[in-house]
A and B are shown apart, each in its own frame.
Chain A
Amino acid sequence: MRVLRWLILPLLVVPLSWVLLTGFSVNPNEVPSALIGKPMPSFSLTTLDGTKLDSRALRGKPVMINFWASWCPPCVAEHSVLLDAQRRLGGRLQIVGVLYQDTAADARSFLATHGDPGYASLQDDDSRLALDFGVSGPPETYFVDAGGMVRGKQFGPLSAAALREQLARIGVSDS
């Protein structure tokens, strides 16, 4: 009995610390998405410069879809990461921006102020595409592999490290 009593100690302390410890190993910005492992929703939308972009045209190469808005401060924060990504990886990775509840005029002036990465940004006026992807708020970024399957989702602004980790999932090495 005496000895058994002492068993309380590890029985209480070990599981509790294990559970709490695993809490750290998980990135709270990585929210599971029902889309992961599923094909990317298809779309055909107008870009900021007025041309049409169809999702079928993106097949065969990894895609990164970035939902953003000019009114969203974290989007400013991640903008430099996006500029840099397009400059370095533009050949191997197709980046597509999607405006989230924003006007084309505001978006253009944002790009004029903070720099235009050069890739297309789509106008999603009735938020249909945002709904299809399940976007809760910008910035949110989805990573689609060459086969058109969604493999990763970033909730909140991208950092260089988060980008590297996500790109590895769709077979783009960023070293």
Chain B
Amino acid sequence: MLPSLGHVAILIGLAVSLYAAVAFVLGGRGRDAVLLATARQAMYAAFGLAFIACAAMVISLLTHDFSVAYIARNNATTTPPFYSIISLWAALEGSILFWTLLTLGWASLVLYRYRARHTALMPWVGMSLALVAVFLFSVMVWPGNPFSRITPVPLEGSGPNALLQNHPFMGLHPPLLYLGYTGLSVPFAFGIAALLTRRTDEEWLGVVRRWTIIPWIFLSLGIVAGAWWSYEVLGWGGYWAWDPVENAALLPWLTATAFIHSSMVAERRGTLKVWSMALVIATFVLTILGTFLTRSGVVQSVHSFTQSAIGPWFLGAIVLALGGSLALLLWRLPDLGDRGDPPRAVSRESAFLFNNVLFLGVTFVVLFGTLMPLIFQATGGQRISVGTPYYNGLNVPIFGALLFLMGVGPALPWGTASWRTVRERFTLPIVAAAGVLVAAVALGMRQPAPLLTLGLAGFVGTVMGDELLRGARSRARVRGEAPATALWHLATRNRRRYGGYVVHFGVLVMAIAVAISSTMARQTTVTLRPGQSATLAGYTLTHDRLVIEPLAEDARVTETRAEMTFAGPQSGTLATALRDYPNSTAAIATPAVRTALGEDLYVTLLSSDPKTGSVTVRVFVNPMVVWIWIGGAILGLGAAFAIWPDGRRIPAVLPAPEARRAEPAASVPAPVSATMEGS
């Protein structure tokens, strides 16, 4: 009954989103407000229908309705309710259903918010979003029906993928990532609308800024949560492996980040317009590519779902989205000429330009590495895999340069920076960087990557601190406010700028934590009989006993657990286990992680001998890992601060660009740097 309801909701969803797409086009061409209103309502209805389908799926999961093939494959009567609910996105068809819900959620939000504004753009925004919905519903009607039935109905299902029912983070990481992925269809829709209507001025960029940053926050947090999940669950002691699907999430993040920066220049200075448009398109195409890589089984990865018929559909979507939007961009290229002057060599614009080039550099490195195995295969070569040394070797220097620009860019003025400004702003930070370097070397640090990172962090941190204090001090002097009040007012009156600083600070924290944890971790593998101890980096680990018993919440799962005592910088007891799930050939590790601000003690059980009670464990002492998660949280908070409505009414239509461009532009011609806009 419920599965049929869900299936019918999907069928009607396809029909209404098709209607919406057509009605947006006709209504937009004929400026027919009534038709456009029905198109919007059709999209809200599609959202409601996707919600009904999701609800039908969740209830069927909770009631273990194994007549649905998806549920028989991904659920069992013993699956706890929490993992039953999140099984909505634990496998292929369900995740597409969930994806559809989120896409339509974003679409409805945008269409409702701008129902009476941006009237020239909105029909085409609506059309683009409706077409995305048509695609998703079609996938669920034809190759990936989440409600397809099986007969005879099995008495028991095979249960969720063992890896995915092992940690509550499964309830957090995918929804965050999906919210990010799906939200990024909104800036794409605006970009397409701007190109179609030839309104490629600042209007769409102004609207889209917030609609890019919100999904960007979700995507960032999703990536960090994924790294955290991998660290807490997979038991290899690390958090990032350049797995194809990690890369798939990183790729649109990189281009979206580049877009957030380039769109600021495009909005303010009228340059980098083609660049910004290309980034919006690239971001959207990369989100589909990410989905394609994850869902189709094309690449080997911890994340890959089973090989399925959905792949060709996603391939078609990639070709259509990339080909169509690129053709549109090329067609409208003459409209996207730069109105402003090309950026001067030393200015904020040029820093942004370099930032974009570097972000794109990382994007290419990662994209190339991810697709390399496929390229090899396509050219008749062997199956190869691209490893960490490739990614790190190429990306670490680029990330270093990005870090440097992060300090330089915001401190430089728009237009032209005089030599005096440069000297004034950067003398102290350079001294600070040198100080940090000397201190680090004196403390015994010798590896180049963390030294470089720390030096850069000293530089960037000082630039930001100096900037902040300078602003607060002058405000305190002018307004006669207390320093703390002045700082708060300064920040809340310029949310965009200071929110950006907070994001940069979060990145800084993460960069330091990554540099140190990835180069200074220590590990050892030991075999211990009960009562024996091992030491590593000041910790003493004692094996108390080996326990093998069924899991309390699911008796079909056997847990082999080593109970241990540890002493050192932290002390206490821990249990590290291997779990044997009936539907998994490999035992799933449940590493013990004891986190402190300075370092984590991380113990993974590798094997055990029930006869003697001896165990083999891998022990890691990972410094500063927790700061990666803290940095991620700072980054998210900073971005939220930047886009928080500031109480003052934001004009629906931005003031004419000419009025804003009246800000002083220096007249001294400086050497012209290359522009990316081309001929």
Contacts and interface: CB of A to CB of B under 8 A. Distances in A.
Given A24-B311, A73-B583, A18 B326 contact: no
Interface in A1-33: 1, 5-6, 8-9, 12-13, 16-24, 26-28, 31-32
B390 to A, nearest CB: 18
Given A6-B330, A8-B326, A8-B330, A73 B300 contact: no
Interface of B: 158, 292, 296-300, 304, 307, 311-312, 315, 318-319, 322-323, 326-327, 330, 333, 371, 374-375, 377-378, 382-383, 582-586, 679
Contacts of A19: 371, 374-375, 378
B641 to A, nearest CB: 38
A72 interface: yes
Given A16-B318, A17-B318, A137-B586, 8 more contacts: A9-B323, A9-B327, A12-B326, A13-B319, A13-B326, A20-B292, A23-B374, A24-B312
B582 A73 contact: yes
B315 A21 contact: yes
B585 A73 contact: yes
Contacts, number: 67
Contacts of B586: 137
B585 A23 contact: no
A117 interface: no
A138 interface: yes
Give the contact-size bracket for chain A.
20 to 34
Given A72-B585, A73-B583, A73-B585, A12 B382 contact: no
A121 B383 CA distance: 32
Contacts of A20: 292, 298, 315, 318, 374
A32 B312 contact: no
A142 B586 CA distance: 21
A74 B583 CA distance: 8
Interface string A26-55: 111001100000000000000000000000
A13 B315 CA distance: 11
Nearest to B311: A24
Given A32-B383, A137-B585, A23 B299 contact: yes
B330 A5 contact: yes
A28 B307 contact: yes
Given A9-B330, A18-B378, A24 B585 contact: no
A45 to B, nearest CB: 23
Interface in A51-105: 72-74
A17 B315 contact: yes
Contacts of A72: 585
B311 A23 contact: yes
Contacts of A18: 378
A28 B300 contact: yes
A9 B679 contact: no
Contacts of A13: 319, 322-323, 326
Given A72-B585, A137-B585, A23 B377 contact: yes
Contact of B377 (A16, A26, A137): A26
Contacts of A17: 315, 318-319
